[in-house]
Amino acid sequence: MRVVHVEKNVKIAVYDLNPYGKRTILMIHGWPLSGKIFEYQQEVLVKSGFRVVTLDLRGMGNSDAPAHGYNYSRLATDIYQVVKALHLSNFTLAGFSMGGAIALRYMGLFDGYGVNKLCLLAAAAPCYTIRSGFPYGVKKQKLDDFIIQASTDRPSLCKDFSQTLLHAPHSDTVKDWFRDIALTASGIGTIGTAFSLRDEDVRPDMAKVTVPTAIFHGRQDKIVPFELGIVQHKSLPGSTFYTFDNSGHGIFYDELSTFNEWLLEFLNHE
């Protein structure tokens, strides 16, 4: 692990595997998790010759948890600072869930600096909640409930989230692993990013995406509805849509071998 100072007194934990790999993928986790969720992609990608960079968003994992900075623009700026610090170029940017929305903000805010491909993994985008002119996603009350629970009983929130993350049968130990990852997030980071999930809109950022893009989404997703993947596909002309019939939100684990196969297929496609 290395740390990158993204602003005064705020350090981001970065994990840089195979730094001399011929191609690079930067993977952004979702709410309220950490870079650990990509454990079962890292080995496969490294064996395929990739440099694999993951990080913990501010307020989560091993990164600092300041009192501020949980909006998408600040989180995207943190990623930009990591990209600059590691001198990344011609890399694939992959974002899971909220990380997908932040990846889109990065594309809009920084004109996709350094990115040559984009992967949206069960992305909570372009808007996670239903609003005027956008009848997709979840009701804002669901996020309000998350915020209340995070403010009063965050351990139960993390347990409930881990139980809903996956669709296919998995051991209690696996679910406990995801719960434990969620518990490494700070309370302030969990709540701050929940407000962003509820209120942010990355439709203007999507209009600036010009690189080859792949959308990965599970049809059984109970956290980020499958319809949002359809909206992304329609909004990004030329995008490739990988659908997982037997996956919930955790597509990177529910259909692990298929996910890794299709991810490599997209990464290796010229």
Average pLDDT, integer, range 166-181: 95
For the chain, list the domains and their CATH numbers: 2-268 (3.40.50.1820)
Which residues, in sequence order, are CB contacts of 131 under 8 Å at separation 6+?
140, 201
Catalytic, out of 34, 48, 97, 162: 97
Known catalytic residue at 56: no
Catalytic, out of 16, 78, 201, 221: 221
DSSP characters over the chain: -EEEEEETTEEEEEEEESTT-SEEEEEE--TT--GGGGHHHHHHHHHTTEEEEEE--TTSTTS---SS--SHHHHHHHHHHHHHHTT--SEEEEEETHHHHHHHHHHHHTTTTTEEEEEEES---S-SB-BTTB--SB-HHHHHHHHHHHHH-HHHHHHHHHHHH--S---HHHHHHHHHHHHTS-HHHHHHHHHHHHH---HHHHTT--S-EEEEEETT-SSS-HHHHHHHHHHSTT-EEEEETT--S-HHHHTHHHHHHHHHHHHH--
Cα–Cα distances (Å) from 159 to 39, 177, 192, in that order, read 20, 10, 19
Confidence of residue 1 (pLDDT cuts 50, 70, 90): very high
Average pLDDT, integer, range 90-101: 98
> Could you tell me if 61 and 3 are in contact, meaning their C-beta atoms sit under 8 angstroms apart?
no
Q: What is the dihedral of CA 231, 28, 77, 200, to 10 degrees?
A: 30
Give me the amino acid identity at 82.
Answer: V
- Give the model confidence (pLDDT) of 218-259 as tens digits: 999 999 999 999 999 999 999 999 999 999 999 999 999 999
> Could you tell me if 16 and 53 are in contact, meaning their C-beta atoms sit under 8 angstroms apart?
yes
Average pLDDT, integer, range 164-185: 96
Percent of the chain's residues with pLDDT above 90: 98
Known catalytic residue at 5: no
What integer pLDDT is reported at residue 141 of this predicted model? 97
What integer pLDDT is reported at residue 270 of this predicted model? 75
Closest by CA to 15, choosing from 82, 69, 66, is: 82
Would you say residue 93 has pLDDT above 90?
A: yes
- Give the model confidence (pLDDT) of 197-207 as tens digits: 999 999 999 99
The whole-chain average pLDDT of the chain stands at 97
Known catalytic residue at 132: no
Average pLDDT, integer, range 136-158: 97
Closest by CA to 124, choosing from 234, 211, 202, 207, is: 202
Strand 50-55's sheet: what is its strand order? Answer: 2-7, 10-17, 50-55, 23-28, 91-96, 115-121, 213-218, 240-244
Q: Is the dihedral of CA 28, 32, 33, 35 positive or negative?
A: positive
Confidence of residue 11 (pLDDT cuts 50, 70, 90): very high
Average pLDDT, integer, range 23-51: 98
